[in-house]
Amino acid sequence: MKRTATKLTRRSFLKASLAAGGALAFPLFVPSRVLGRGGAVAPSERITLGVIGVGPRCRHDLGCMLEETDVQCVTICDIQANRRVSGKKMVDAKYGNNDCTTIRDFRQLLARSDIDAVLIATGDHWHALASIMAARAGKDVYSEKPCAMTIADTQALCDSMQRYGRVFQAGTQRRSIANFQVASRLAQSGKLGKIHTMHASVYRPRTRCDWLPEEPLPPKVEVDWDMWLGPSPWRPYNKSYVTGGWRGHYDFDSGGTLLDWGAHTLDLCQMANKSDDTTPIEFVPSDKNITCRYANGVTLILDYLDEPFGDRSPHYITKLGTCPVRFIGDEGWVETGDAGDIEVFPASLKSEVRHVKQQAGTNSGGHARNFFDCVRSRGLTAANHNIMRRSHIACHAAAMAWQLNRKIVFDPVREIFPHDDEANRLRSRAHRAPWTT
């Protein structure tokens, strides 16, 4: 006869044991935290988390996630020994034990059946492939942005989450922060009149294709250089790459740094314009900005940060903190940024934004909570794979217009550049074997 395997959780064991009354031959003393009392969550009910890539942004995200009582971080993975140590130290200090394990090769993390979800905060060039591999391994994914290096990788990432039924959250946490949500709703409400122009701040795009001088390669246990390179083309080791100096290098950076902020600010414009299921259809670069136009007639201007802004409100860019956006209608405008303030015109609309809770735009606490709630419910997150797909593709298309230094036209249904072979070739990049999607 076949025996059907059943999973005996801590909770079911305790219930069975207590129901047995005096059948146990030893006294049973159970800490209240194990039973989930006093605000604690029983271990059997917790979401287990693995971390892939421990850098500055990871430590911020992880710090928020460690505050969630129904989440347990169980392992830290990084190709650098010092980052593995610092990540483990952070986790163990929070839990008051020494239980967190460390791993150098993230494939070993993905092979573990005791991990439900992963936080991916590597360099940009690893985000998409690591997310896809995690989905194949049955893990839910919170990925820092930019989530993919190219349009093709963005499509493959989104399709993988759909195929494997995984919960995905892009690290565009401003979607979960009150002042940006309120500004977006005001733009959609009609109280500004018909929205005709949106402004999103971005870094001026830049890229470089040179190699840094070769330096002696450290032992693999200290820095696994081949794993760090992953799907990117090979180049000689230089310490600067693995300590953050990879930014701006074409092989490692997504969209000439445009997605560093564009993944946030353009995404917020997508939300305000109710365009989460589409993208702009035209991208025109200039020395000051990239102008994008939607099929509904709305113009989106990606402003370079180092340019003058004419007679526009001085609050935009200069006064509202990082990642500011501005939505302009026939009868008024609203603008906000990471400082949490919201400016509106006309003044009669100030009552609409007076009581908004201020929170730094970099805070990922609410965004992480939304992710874990969806891990439980299997619902769509605030920045799910479909939303990420459209906003990232729009950012990549804008970066391509800058790279080609000319107007390009995009078909958001077929996700191609009609009759434009040069632009279509830029939709993808080759991956170094064996790292393919």
Whether residue 144 is contained in a domain is answered as no
pLDDT tens figures, 47-72: 999 999 999 999 999 999 999 999 99
Distance between CA atoms of 119 and 265, rounded to whole angstroms? 22
Find out whether 14 and 30 touch, Cβ atoms under 8 Å.
Answer: yes
Residue at 268 is within a domain? yes
The confidence score (pLDDT) of residue 331 equals 97
Q: What is the mean pLDDT of residues 330-334?
A: 97
Domain that holds residue 305: 174-206+255-425
**399 half-sphere exposure, CB direction, 13 A CA radius:** 30
Q: How many domains is the chain partitioned into structurally? A: 1
**Does the pLDDT at position 335 exceed 70?**
yes
| Neighbour-count burial for 93-132, b at 16+ CB within 10 Å, e otherwise | eeeeeeebbbbbebeebbeeeebbbbbbbbbbbbbbbbbb
Tell me phi and psi for residue 166, to 5 degrees.
-100, 155
Tokens of 430: 């080759």
Give me the residue label for tokens 């483990």: 88
| Least confident segment among 13-17, 117-121, 204-208, 252-256 | 13-17
Q: 129-144, pLDDT tens digit by residue?
A: 999 999 999 999 999 9
pLDDT (mean) for 35-42: 60
Give me the sheet containing 289-293, strands edge to edge. Answer: 342-345, 333-336, 325-329, 195-202, 299-304, 289-293, 282-285, 408-409
Burial of 76 by CB count in 10 Å (0-12 exposed, 13-18 middle, 19+ buried)?
buried
How far is C-alpha 316 from the chain's CA centre? 24
**Going by DSSP bridges, is the β-strand pair 101-103/71-77 parallel, antiparallel, or unpaired?**
parallel
392, 156 contact by CB (below 8 A) = no
CA distance 87 to 51: 9
Looking up tokens 């005709």 gives: 196
Query: Quick one: how far is CA 108 from the chain centroid?
Result: 23
3-state secondary structure of 411: strand
Across the range 101-113, mean pLDDT stands at 98
- Using CA atoms, how far residue 102 sits from 55, 120, 165, 282, 364, in Å, is 15, 15, 28, 47, 24
Question: Does some domain include residue 81?
Answer: no
Q: What proportion of the chain, given as a percentage, has pLDDT over 70?
A: 88
Q: What is the largest CA-CA distance in the chain?
A: 82
pLDDT of residue 35: 47
Reported confidence tier of residue 215, pLDDT bands at 50, 70, 90: very high
pTM, 2 dp: 0.89
Considering the domain boundaries, does residue 59 fall inside one?
no
DSSP 301-351: EEEETTS--TTS-TTTTTTS-SS-EEEEESS-EEEE-TT--EEEESGGGGG
| 25 vs 389: which has the higher pLDDT | 389
Q: Is residue 297 part of a domain?
A: yes
Domain-located, residue 128: no
Strand partners, 208: 249
Give the pLDDT confidence score for residue 42 in this predicted structure. Answer: 78
Torsions phi, psi for 151 (to 5 deg): -60, -45
pLDDT over 50 (residue 24)? no
pLDDT tens sequence across 231-243 = 999 999 999 999 9
pLDDT of residue 40: 66
What is the domain-level CATH number for residue 333?
A: 3.30.360.10
The answer to whether position 145 is within a domain reads no
